[in-house]
A and B are shown apart, each in its own frame.
Chain A
Amino acid sequence: MDKETLFKKLAAAVIDGDEDETARLAQEALDTGIDPYDAIMQGCNKGMAEVSDKYEAKEMFVPEILLSADAMYAAIDILRPHLKVDDTVAKPATVIIGVAQGDIHDIGKNLVKMMLDVAGFNIIDVGRDVPVETFVEKAIEHNAKLVAISALMTTSMMNMEPVIEGLKEKHSGAKTIVGGAPISQDFADSIGAAGYGKDAVAAVRVAKKLTEA
């Protein structure tokens, strides 16, 4: 199978949530000497981006997406150990991701995390109901370039600004992106976040922009 066909099939198997097929294709990529980085970016990543679009269009729903995620990881787990070192010359930026304090809604955070992961970021997931101090401490500990905070409630969104303040004071090298159903660009601007993403695809776009600059 040529490269292009394999990438297409890999993307399709991610969309279908077919773990066995993605694992098989990943192995086939390795066996036939296809660059694992290309397989991840043009197969897995493309497939997942389409999944995200289909979710926004209400053609796919969360249960299907979770299966797609498993299928994607089945391939990535096989491909990643074989990534050539020079593919990652510029060491990937580290992102701390978590759900704001007081909030346990983590389905959206998990989708964003996955998209950032497959896009090549180094992800540290600090979970849900995360105290303000933990975001800051983890950012310092891992020398993070980016801190991504999710909030789904009017109460917990109040706990985003203190993280931004804390980072300014103690780890000014990190920028913050925020998201979640009640968050808007206006709100993000008002609390001094560097970026806002309406969905997981936007999250990747914004994260790339902020870390490449």
Chain B
Amino acid sequence: MARMTSPERMGAVMMGEKPDRIPVVPFILGYAAQITGVSIGDLYADGDKCFEAMFNSMRLHGYEQTPMYGYASLGPWEFGGEVMFPYGKGHSAPSVTKHPVMSIEDIENLEVPTFEKELPGGFKEADKVAKRCVAMGMPATIQTGSTFTASSVVAETSLFLKWIFKEPKAVHMLLDKVSDMFVNALEYFAETYGPEHCMPFDGGPVEANTILSPKQFKEFAYPYMEKLHKKIKELGMPAVLMHPCADQNMNIPYYVELRKKLNWEGRYFWLFGPETPIQDQIDNFGDHDIICGNVDPPSIQYKSYEDVVRLCKENIEAGKDSPNGFVLAPGCEFPPLAPPIKVMAMMDAAEKYGRYD
């Protein structure tokens, strides 16, 4: 079979066809800065630098992940708080320095950011990345959640988690406002770039079962996820990159319910953490969706090239024949400080063990 280009490979998977080999989406964010000579602070503070670093890293390694902008602590800046960009020693992503919500009153007074004039906070940088992606025929990736994680950092995190019991009404009000911001974002990007070019990116770590019970997930995370995904469907976007971060095994029934309830013809790329066996993902979503790998990120950083190839091989063997396709990926962000041969290990494993011919 003739070799496919990266866009052809992703295109084939999207269409439910077999590519020449499984695509590789290494979930690279901070790493792109490290190897292209951009500071990791600039990668998050400046959308143009983000695009260039990610585009160059993509060209250098030849993987299938196109440039994207986003981070786990998105939300506070957009709602009038402050974040610190990762210029400091050891920093690897933006973090919150001032939560806009410190009391119930703050929730009542909170105003939902609009996208009419200037775009709020990080969306301004995300927009620069999206613009350049779409101009080159690549999707505009938009972070649209998760609402629960964003809310848990808009408010001071421990307060927020306690309010789940003490002030459930106020928590719902906050979740509703935060999800409205994401609705506004979806509408802006759909209108600006055309829904067919948009790829929402949803997911977050704070709904992990190391923090939250499935019951709390059902009551506080699920309804807003459903609200946003309904919007995505209505707008006619073709696919969603869905990353239930860390251990969310007990939440899986709700993700399945979401899928059923929306009865959506679009496709999900499911990117679960290393805690969720690939076979479980196939059993729950494989009939309709694309399953992504979940190679353990710390192992990518610390283990040898040979060990990483072996871990990828196990991942590929478990997922390659999922009925609607498989993409090799780590279970969360590629370790920003890992040496480049670890990306090579993923690429080599895909070539060696991920071919369909």
Point out residues on A near B: beta carbons under 8 Å: 17, 58, 61-64, 66-67, 70, 100-104, 107, 110, 129, 131, 153-156, 158-159, 181-182
**A-B contact list, 23 entries, CB within 8 Å:** A61-B212, A62-B210, A62-B211, A62-B212, A63-B165, A66-B158, A66-B162, A67-B162, A67-B165, A100-B90, A101-B88, A104-B95, A104-B96, A107-B158, A110-B158, A129-B91, A129-B95, A154-B298, A155-B90, A155-B92, A155-B336, A155-B337, A159-B90
Q: Check: B117 CB closer than 8 A to any chain A CB.
A: no
Query: What is the chain B residue whose CB lies nearest that of A110?
Result: B158
0/1 string, B155-171, CB within 8 A of A gives 1: 00110011011100000
Tell me if A155 and B335 are in contact (CB < 8 A): yes
Task: Return A10 CB to nearest CB of chain B, in Å.
Answer: 20
**Which residues of A sit under 8 angstroms from B164, Cβ to Cβ?**
63
Q: Check: B297 CB closer than 8 A to any chain A CB.
A: yes
Q: Identify 20 new A-B residue pairs, CB closer than 8 A, beyond the known A154-B297, A155-B92.
A: A58-B250, A61-B216, A62-B211, A63-B161, A63-B162, A64-B165, A66-B161, A67-B162, A67-B165, A67-B166, A102-B88, A103-B90, A104-B96, A107-B158, A129-B88, A153-B92, A154-B335, A155-B335, A158-B337, A181-B210
Pick the residue among B89, B216, B335 that contacts A102 (CB under 8 A).
Answer: B89
Q: Check: B114 CB closer than 8 A to any chain A CB.
A: no
**Which residues of B sit under 8 angstroms from A62, Cβ to Cβ?**
161, 210-212
Alpha-carbon distance A110/B337, docked complex (angstroms)? 27
Tell me if A58 and B162 are in contact (CB < 8 A): no
Alpha-carbon distance A70/B158, docked complex (angstroms)? 11
0/1 string, B120-161, CB within 8 A of A gives 1: 000000000000000000000000000000000000011001
Q: Check: B304 CB closer than 8 A to any chain A CB.
A: no
Pairs of residues from A and B, 4 with the lowest C-beta to C-beta distance, nearest first = A102-B90, A63-B161, A61-B213, A104-B95
Q: Which B206-256 residues sit within 8 Å CB-CB of chain A? A: 209-213, 216, 250
Q: Check: B356 CB closer than 8 A to any chain A CB.
A: no
Tell me if B90 and A154 are in contact (CB < 8 A): no
Alpha-carbon distance A66/B161, docked complex (angstroms)? 8
Point out residues on B near A: beta carbons under 8 Å: 88-92, 95-96, 157-158, 161-162, 164-166, 209-213, 216, 250, 297-298, 301-302, 335-337
Tell me if A101 and B162 are in contact (CB < 8 A): no
Query: What is the chain B residue whose CB lies nearest that of A61?
Result: B213
Tell me if B302 and A154 are in contact (CB < 8 A): yes
Task: Return A161 CB to nearest CB of chain B, in Å.
Answer: 12
**Which residues of A sit under 8 angstroms from B157, Cβ to Cβ?**
107
Alpha-carbon distance A194/B293, docked complex (angstroms)? 37
**Which residues of B sit under 8 angstroms from A153, Cβ to Cβ?**
92
Alpha-carbon distance A158/B337, docked complex (angstroms)? 11
Tell me if B158 and A154 are in contact (CB < 8 A): no
Tell me if A131 and B89 are in contact (CB < 8 A): yes
* Most B Cβ at <10 Å: residue of A64, A107, A110, A155: A155
**Which residues of A sit under 8 angstroms from B165, Cβ to Cβ?**
17, 63-64, 67
Tell me if B211 and A107 are in contact (CB < 8 A): yes
Tell me if A154 and B209 are in contact (CB < 8 A): no
Query: What is the chain A residue whose CB lies nearest that of B161?
Result: A63
**Which residues of B sit under 8 angstroms from A102, Cβ to Cβ?**
88-92
Tell me if B158 and A101 are in contact (CB < 8 A): no
Query: What is the chain A residue whose CB lies nearest that of B205?
Result: A105
**Which residues of B sit under 8 angstroms from A154, Cβ to Cβ?**
297-298, 301-302, 335, 337
Tell me if B95 and A61 are in contact (CB < 8 A): no
Task: Return B209 CB to nearest CB of chain A, in Å.
Answer: 7
Query: What is the chain B residue whose CB lies nearest that of A58?
Result: B209
Task: Return B221 CB to nearest CB of chain A, in Å.
Answer: 12
**Which residues of B sit under 8 angstroms from A104, Cβ to Cβ?**
95-96
**Which residues of B sit under 8 angstroms from A63, Cβ to Cβ?**
161-162, 164-165, 211-212, 216
**Which residues of A sit under 8 angstroms from B298, Cβ to Cβ?**
154, 182
